[in-house]
Structure 1
Amino acid sequence: MIRPPSQSYGQLLVELGQGTPDLVVLDAGLGTSMETADFRAAYPDRYFNLGIAEQNAVGVASGLAHEGYVPLLHSFANFLVRRAHDQVAVSVAWPGRSVKLIAGHCGLWDGRNGPSHTSYDDLAGILNLPGMLVVEPADQTQTRHLMAEVIAYDGPAYVRLRRHGMPRDLAGAPLNRGSVLVRQAPARPACTVVAAGTMLAEALHAARLLGDTGTHVDLIGVAVLAPANLEPVLQSAARSGMVAVIENHAPHGGLADVVAAAVSPFGLPVHRFTLPKEFLPAGDSDWLLTHCGLAGPQLAARIEQVLDERTSEVG
């Protein structure tokens, strides 16, 4: 889906800069890919291209935050977490600096560049850092809302974004909370489906397909992964008795682990529909979604299979 210019991330940055004079934008030589060029044109004295040197960029951002600025540091998710994890931990998380790490092209959404750019494991390195606000918006409207919250947050934050084609408004209403019941079963849900941020579109497709066949599920979109409010998940799971988590990340270290920890005291099964634990081949995102079994029709079939197996066990 092509985004209207008024909804582009680059234009959002310009708007945020208008309302926050202390906001500065940094990027690691990715002005086009991360859409920071608009901010550079609007506020050239508040933009810094630090080149392909993420460790140094994190250090610079930490220093700017210490001086009272609000730095938004842009790079691809895999480079921010893999290359600069020590600097993020020691220079940002430990002192609680208000550095905002804008991690683009997360997971399979930059699959065309191959394994070196597939950040299938970034959340495993970020969610365990104390004090880190971690968000993964599902659509453009939610991105706008969450970016305002991230900037206002007095501490470090990690924003996980897909590459291009983010839907404008998935649910027909703003997804302005960290955990949102996007689709509710008309009666007792057959399953509680939890989708992390960028996978909500495919999960919604799957939920609609299941509904068309008479299998109704609760679908909950989670955009704030830390600190996560999982109360809607727990309420739904108490009725369905089963949880399925869909996310654009490896099987462990991400939202699936967060959800499993929350529901395990109740003895409820958690099924993980995630990226496989393997180095993915290069390919566009649609191809990779199918390759990983995460396209909407595949998810519907996989959830249906789990439900059938559950019925057989009970029988």
Structure 2
Amino acid sequence: MISFFEAALAELSIHRIGNKAQDEFYVLSEKSIPVKDNMLSNLLQQYFLGPFAKVNEIYHFTHPNVDLNLNEVYHFADKIFEDGTTFHENSKELAKYLYDVSGHPKIKPGELYVAYFENVQIEGELHDAIGIFKSETKESFLKVYPEEGGFGLGYEEEAININKLDKGCLIFNTDKEEGFRVAVIDQTNKSAEAVYWKDEFLKLKVRNDNFNQTNSVLGVVKNFVTEKLDQEFDISKADKIDLLNKSIKYFKEKESFDLDEFSNEVIGNAEGIESFKNYKKSYEEEFDAPIADTFDISGAAVKKQSRAYKSVLKLDKNFHIYIHGDKDLIEKGYDDDKSMNYYKVYFREEE
């Protein structure tokens, strides 16, 4: 969904954010940092952008009072996109605002990086993007270097591991009226105080367009088939693979999703349909992410999710059976003499 093969780091500002509850302050840099060294630029892009390659959900900025300009991060990002010369000044405003919401005593201090990237790809489109990143976790690294007669050994304390981004977001310069497209990462705190990054600082909500609707329904279907069905029904793995195949076939062939049509064509069982609709409703309530009963299907989302739809029946460590079509052509049985299960597969031609 997000790639950075064509991306370029255009500008970078670094500030220090303390913990307000611990009477720590913030330190603002006077100017942005020119990154002219190609190796350093590549390392920074790996550190900042690399983790977003695996991000699936895309958000948008929101605000309880509806007016997006009341969302501070949206407001400052919009100013930067409108006039790039204000980048550093607005990065300082972002730093001060992050400090204001860092009120929980367990929030770790750290460096705040605000970066401007050109040509970051999201959902097949190239856009400029503002990155906001915070490093909280420091590590020690050994350094080995040659010296007369052999090698010397040293170390670097309070260093940053470029393979471990703590917190970050990418704000893409598109869909401004809907609150921009935003991707977010928070790898550190998983407890209650962690919500300050996404909920208090960024104020994000899952984007509810056709891509996310399609992506969400396919995710719900996959989890329902692979995890929920076993709890309520006696169903074989071959039947579950058949349901997954029918589901992805529906989304590839149809232009729009209709919940009742999908349920009848794919599930086709009254009890199973009721169970699926209840599962979908539980998902919507748990993640506060309503999914419409009808919407236009996004081909990009289908392509992305289809990779996660496995049609492989794994038998011990000896065989894999790929089921792509009619599941009635495969039969399961039990051999008393061998005390083992078996599958019988019917076919007309061997290729």
Fold shared per TM-score above 0.5: no
TM-score by length of 1: 0.30
Q: TM-score, normalised by structure 2?
A: 0.28
Q: Which has the larger radius of gyration?
A: 2
- Larger helix proportion, structure 1 or 2? 1
Higher strand share: 2
